[in-house]
Amino acid sequence: MQFALMSGLVAFLATVLLIPRFITFYQAKRIEGQQMHEDVKQHQFKAGTPTMGGTVFLVVAILVSLLFATAFQLLTGGVLAILFILALYGVVGFLDDFLKIFRKINEGLNPKQKLALQILGGIVFYFVHVRGAGGGELNVFGHMVHLGVLYFPFVLFWLVGFSNAVNLTDGIDGLASISVVISLLAYSVIAFNEQKFDILLVCVTMIGGLLGFFVYNRKPAKIFMGDVGSLALGGMLATISIALRQEWTLLLIGLVYVIETSSVMLQVSYFKYTKKRFGEGRRIFRMTPFHHHLELGGLTGKAEKWSEWKVDFFLWSVGLIMSLITLAILYL
């Protein structure tokens, strides 16, 4: 356990030291910062804030994990698989951010391009790690269900789905970074109890990197992680759940991400249905993803708006409670 804590501390310190330099470089080069959607009027003042901060904590976490895994003889296939997805999905997010900021392409990678690259990463992960490790059984609330070849599309769905879910969650200061920290803490406990010390190392290292990033990402944020960070973190969580053979746990541990994604899907579907049925589109939520609904007072039904901190603490609490419930189901 000490090696993991050391690794996490190194990642934390490195990120804390490097982020200010990244911000200074960003500003010195006069790089255009984060763009804000016109619909999210309450966040327009954040336009221009440096983004792509995920580049820093991803590189730090990958290098520190490799260093400590090698030093403590924990450089396993599981570690390499998780770091591979981190790197590849990070590159996908980097390209998306790069096109938005440097090439002035508003949508970055189009949805088909992004999906194709995410699926490609999932295919490589499946055939190199999952299939090689004899995967094909899905853990459904503690019961192993043999899926055979159907496990392959499940893996792709899991990786792509949660990658994009965390991406949707990254919409207000500090929300995604601490939500993922809470999820990784839960998986650290699971990895420790299952004696998967290699996966424990990667989890704690990323926790250190994210806490270092949060120093500058908390409200008022001095930097955002960008798609380079959020897409990679979602892919990482999905990969960890698969590597631990505890896929079902991500539905509970990652309930916040599920809610965020479901809110968007429900909103779009209901709007299209009501527009076709009644000639006028109607909405279930005041705004999606769900954290914007909370910001606009949607949970209470009143006009009074919630501060970003209030939304953060509410959703962090949901993540923490669901993580504790998951651990209780597993070990009590």
- List the chain pLDDT tens, one digit each, 332 residues: 889 999 999 999 999 999 999 999 888 876 665 565 555 555 555 667 899 999 999 999 999 999 999 999 999 999 999 999 999 999 999 999 988 887 766 677 888 999 999 999 999 999 888 876 656 788 887 788 888 889 999 999 999 999 999 999 999 999 999 999 999 999 999 999 999 999 999 999 999 999 999 999 999 999 999 999 999 999 999 999 999 999 999 999 999 999 999 999 999 999 999 998 888 899 999 999 999 999 998 887 777 789 999 999 999 999 999 999 999 999 98
What was the pLDDT predicted at 135?
A: 66
Query: What is the amino acid identity at position 63?
Result: L
- Looking at residue 227, the DSSP 8-state letter turns out to be H
Residue 300 phi, psi (nearest 5): -90, -20
State the Cα–Cα distance between residues 323 and 249, nearest whole angstrom: 9
Residue 306 phi, psi (nearest 5): -90, 145
State the Cα–Cα distance between residues 303 and 291, nearest whole angstrom: 16
Give the DSSP letter string of 114-160: HHHHHHHHHHHHIIIIITTTT--EEEETTEEEE-GGGHHHHHHHHHH
What was the pLDDT predicted at 46?
A: 64
What was the pLDDT predicted at 228?
A: 97
Sign of CA dihedral 58, 156, 255, 38: positive
What was the pLDDT predicted at 42?
A: 57
Is 202 within 8 Å of 65 (Cβ atoms)?
A: yes
State the Cα–Cα distance between residues 183 and 97, nearest whole angstrom: 25
Domain extents in the chain: 2-249
